[in-house]
Chains A and B, each alone.
Chain A
Amino acid sequence: MSRVVGIDLGTTYSLVAYLDQKTGKPKCIPGPYGETLCPSVVSLDPDGSIIVGEPARRRLLTQPDRTIYSVKRLMGRGVADVQDELKVFPFRIDPASKTVIRVQLGHRVFTPPEISSFILRELRNWAEAHFKEPVSRAVITVPAYFNDSQRQATKDAGRLAGLEVLRLVNEPTAAALAYGLHEQQRGRVSVYDFGGGTFDISILKLISTAEGDIYQVLSTNGDTHLGGDDIDLMMQRVVRDEIRYAYQFDITTDPSAVQKLRKELISVKHKLSTADRVPFRFPLPSGKLYHRDFVRSEFESWIRPIIDRTMVPVKQALSDAQLQRSDIEAVVLVGGSTRIPLVRRTVEEFFGRRAHAELDPDEVVALGAAVQANILGSGVKHMLLLDVTPLSLGIETYGGAVAKIITRNSTIPASAQELYTTGVDNQTGIDIHVLQGERELAKDCRSLARFSLKIPPGPAGLARVEVKFLIDANGILQVAARDTRSGELRTIEVQPSYGIADADIERMLEESIEHAEEDFAERQVIEARTESEAILNATAKSLAHEAASGLSAEERRKIEASQTELRAAAQGTDYKLIRSRIGDLNQATMLLAEMIMNSALSTALEGKRVAEV
């Protein structure tokens, strides 16, 4: 079985990790720049190629209209949902988008799952370069408070990146897994996860049993649109208004200057976590210089309302778990925004105890995902996650009301059966509208899907159709219907309200999978050729070395034969053959290499007295 990696697909950064079999510990995989954090930024090059990560982030300044960040905010959402985001984020939505959002990069349009799939593909490349073998299976993390459409969109992104998504794991649960392993913590634990774009709170019970440790989530709550992004926006607003007032200049008219300001203010935000005062100078396009000092106390008074917003879900989660804050035995901080001292102070004051932040808050979710990936990949199970659904599932009833059939914080998988019958003679269908949310009216809940049960004509009340609603271990809804009189299963065409239709996914997949396989093979061929060139050059140099004169004619012939075979293989595209020929040549030159080493050693030792050696 192939290796399974854990991926944290974040709003600001994404990471990929695996479980190191030697140490038994999870580890993040670095990218080509040695960094484990891949900025979740995607850019479309004018030549049509996709650029991801750090190079794409640099293009935010130079090519803002071809580059996108924080795309996670758009995952699984409809055009109507994101109107507020559009006011503050430079998303360019294709005006032709109806329910499904399409984003413009240059002259092309992409869905948010497609853009996310570019990030996943990049991480997959990192992993493949690290293991030197294809990676096709992954565990991907999602905010615990993600609804069905957002989860489905994440899963779609995985498929589009050529990954089989074995499981979606909730981010705070993944963090708890990493901490549980690290700290040997047991009892009731609260995970406060404040990231770039989302906020989650989860309350777990960590239990030791004979079979291993169980991580049972008691309750979860959150806000999928509350994060460090909001703090950045608040700082940008302050500066924008000051510039407008003092210089009569509207910076929003210059997208590149907006990005530059955003970037520098983020850096100020980071510095304010350790410094009390940060001087700030920003040259305006007009040539004038805007400057001010940022003081931590003032910064804290600005962000306090944002942090207070996180405490509402915290209190709700506690009450849903039927616990008092004093019942919590450990508090864990996750997500980059928990580096802000005021965040930490607020959480610690609320729970009345010091919070754990020993593991890197940026890496901990990916590390936890790697642990779960290893469990699913290896089948060796020493811990078990029992997670919950964050939102209640309901169906629309008469008058637009909602009947809840699975309540929030139910352990998943969870199911509910409903029996339907016809109300009038010869009725041929029953319409069902599935919703997610806590509100009492359908119009205030999230529409997940609509479908129609087909009924053969007959007298009213004769038909008996049982519909089974099931939320799987990923938190994604599945629906099945059965005629209880005939026992016959009925297929249902579920039309997702916001997702991408299956047919479209299939089409995108066909395009991308073909490419993915080509991509991998192509990269492998290029790498193998580069390597063979390097070894051929080195061999030629070695043969020219004076020490090579000591080689027997037989040895020399062997090396030359290997060289010829490698050159021939490197002409072709079979990277496995090239690698095998590289191995042969390495083998053939071993004696030569040793001779050269010895001669180098004796040269170095020449002129030195024996006593010095």
Chain B
Amino acid sequence: MSAPSTSESSAAPCRNCNAPTNGAHFCASCGKIQPLSPGTDYFAFFGLPRKLLLDTTLLEQRFHQLSWKLHPDNFVNATESERELSLDRSSQLNDAYRTLRELLRRVEYLLGIEGMRNEGASKQQAPPELLDEVFALNESLDELREANARGGNTSAIRARLAEAHINFEKKRSEIDEQLRALCAQWDQALDGDADRAARMKLMTQMNELLNRRSYIRNLVAGVQKELVEA
């Protein structure tokens, strides 16, 4: 199995027999394992286009096929340099699979290699449309802490918090749906050879969704912690 040559133009020729390799894992001519070319991204490693709604069953199959070939088990009796290449390639394979098999990590990774991931101040700042709800939530949390300190009855506050919790979870799944829709548009844009501006726009939107999602996730985790500790 070879990686596509698109992002591999800088690949060096085979160290062993000098044949061109196009960044493939093994030399097509002599079969020796090849070093990773600088800048090989995880999609290219699997020989995949940079699409986001990929078939994870197929991805797992490729992961297994490549594991058979690249794993250090195969190189126990090989030269030291081949053993190192196997270690490099197989760790890259595992890192790539771990990243690509989950949608969120995949999107985040794509934005990263396209230079479009910008976390900004998202972890601290509430998105404007959530401001009121976040304000109410923080008030309830304060009340809960006070009531706990006084040893008062907290059941009403807890019920309110639990409701807010459900509400934010719902918002999170809405974001997930929006993200999926954007991913589908991204894949279409790639198929249709959309221009850079159209792709940038999609990526900016995805970046924003990721930031909102991570804000909500932190919020929800905070509420859960308070509810458990109280």
Q: Does B35 contact A (CB under 8 A)?
A: no
A211 touches B94 (CB 8 A): no
Q: Does A259 contact B (CB under 8 A)?
A: no
Question: Which of A384, A416, A472 contacts B67, CB < 8 Å?
Answer: A384
Question: Which of B64, B91, B97 contacts A470, CB < 8 Å?
Answer: B91
Residue in A closest to B77 when the chains form the complex, CB atoms: A379
CB distance from A224 to the nearest CB of B (A): 24
Q: Does A613 contact B (CB under 8 A)?
A: no
Q: Does B53 contact A (CB under 8 A)?
A: no
Chain B residue numbers with a CB within 8 Å of A1 are: 77
Chain B residue numbers with a CB within 8 Å of A416 are: 95
Question: Which of B64, B74, B90, B97 contacts A207, CB < 8 Å?
Answer: B64
Stretch from A96-104, A394-402, A405-413, A539-547 at the B interface? A405-413
Q: Does A83 contact B (CB under 8 A)?
A: no
Q: Does B23 contact A (CB under 8 A)?
A: no
Interface residues of B (CB under 8 A from A): 61, 64-65, 67-68, 71-74, 76-77, 87, 90-92, 94-95, 97-98
A413 touches B77 (CB 8 A): no
Q: Which residues of A, 176-221, contact B by the 8 Å Cβ criterion?
A: 207, 209, 211-212, 214
**7 nearest CB pairs, A to B:** A413-B91, A415-B91, A411-B94, A211-B68, A473-B72, A376-B76, A413-B90
B76 touches A410 (CB 8 A): no
A412 touches B94 (CB 8 A): yes
Residue in A closest to B69 when the chains form the complex, CB atoms: A211
A472 touches B87 (CB 8 A): yes
Q: Which residues of A, 337-382, contact B by the 8 Å Cβ criterion?
A: 375-377, 379, 381
A377 and B92 alpha carbons, distance in the complex (Å): 25
Residue in B closest to A417 when the chains form the complex, CB atoms: B95
CB distance from A421 to the nearest CB of B (A): 19
Interface string of A102-113 (1 = CB under 8 A from B): 000000000000
Residue in B closest to A375 when the chains form the complex, CB atoms: B73
A167 and B76 alpha carbons, distance in the complex (Å): 9
A166 and B76 alpha carbons, distance in the complex (Å): 7
Residue in B closest to A407 when the chains form the complex, CB atoms: B98
**Interface range on chain A (Cβ under 8 Å from partner):** 20 to 34
Which secondary structure dominates chain B's binding surface? helix
Also in contact, A415 and B92, with CB within 8 A (given A375-B73, A381-B73): yes
Residue in A closest to B78 when the chains form the complex, CB atoms: A379
Chain A residue numbers with a CB within 8 Å of B98 are: 410-411, 414
A416 and B95 alpha carbons, distance in the complex (Å): 8
A594 and B71 alpha carbons, distance in the complex (Å): 56
Q: Can you sample 7 A-B contacts with CB below 8 Å? A: A1-B77, A381-B73, A384-B68, A411-B98, A412-B94, A413-B87, A473-B71
A356 and B95 alpha carbons, distance in the complex (Å): 34
Interface residues of A (CB under 8 A from B): 1, 166-167, 207, 209, 211-212, 214, 375-377, 379, 381, 384-386, 410-416, 470-473
Residue in B closest to A210 when the chains form the complex, CB atoms: B65
Question: Which of A207, A377, A384 contacts B71, CB < 8 Å?
Answer: A384
Also in contact, A473 and B64, with CB within 8 A (given A410-B98, A412-B94, A415-B92): no
A212, A415, A416, A470: which has the most chain B beta carbons within 10 Å? Answer: A415
A209 touches B68 (CB 8 A): yes
Chain A residue numbers with a CB within 8 Å of B87 are: 413, 470, 472-473
B68 touches A415 (CB 8 A): no
Chain B residue numbers with a CB within 8 Å of A379 are: 74, 76-77
CB distance from B120 to the nearest CB of A (A): 19
B68 touches A414 (CB 8 A): no
CB distance from A139 to the nearest CB of B (A): 10
CB distance from A166 to the nearest CB of B (A): 6
Chain B residue numbers with a CB within 8 Å of A384 are: 67-68, 71, 73
B91 touches A211 (CB 8 A): no
Residue in B closest to A413 when the chains form the complex, CB atoms: B91
B67 touches A386 (CB 8 A): yes
A351 and B222 alpha carbons, distance in the complex (Å): 32
Chain B residue numbers with a CB within 8 Å of A376 are: 73, 76
A381 touches B67 (CB 8 A): no
Chain A residue numbers with a CB within 8 Å of B72 are: 413, 472-473
Residue in A closest to B74 when the chains form the complex, CB atoms: A381
B91 touches A214 (CB 8 A): no
A375 and B68 alpha carbons, distance in the complex (Å): 13
**15 extra A-B contacts, CB within 8 A, seeds A379-B74, A412-B94:** A1-B77, A167-B73, A209-B61, A211-B65, A212-B68, A214-B64, A375-B73, A384-B71, A411-B98, A413-B94, A414-B94, A470-B91, A471-B91, A472-B72, A473-B73
Chain A residue numbers with a CB within 8 Å of B91 are: 412-415, 470-471
A255 and B61 alpha carbons, distance in the complex (Å): 59
Chain A residue numbers with a CB within 8 Å of B77 are: 1, 379
B67, B71, B73, B87: which has the most chain A beta carbons within 10 Å? Answer: B73
A3 and B66 alpha carbons, distance in the complex (Å): 28
CB distance from B58 to the nearest CB of A (A): 13
Chain A residue numbers with a CB within 8 Å of B94 are: 410-414
Chain B residue numbers with a CB within 8 Å of A381 are: 68, 73-74
CB distance from B176 to the nearest CB of A (A): 16
Residue in B closest to A372 when the chains form the complex, CB atoms: B73
Chain B residue numbers with a CB within 8 Å of A212 are: 68
A385 and B73 alpha carbons, distance in the complex (Å): 9
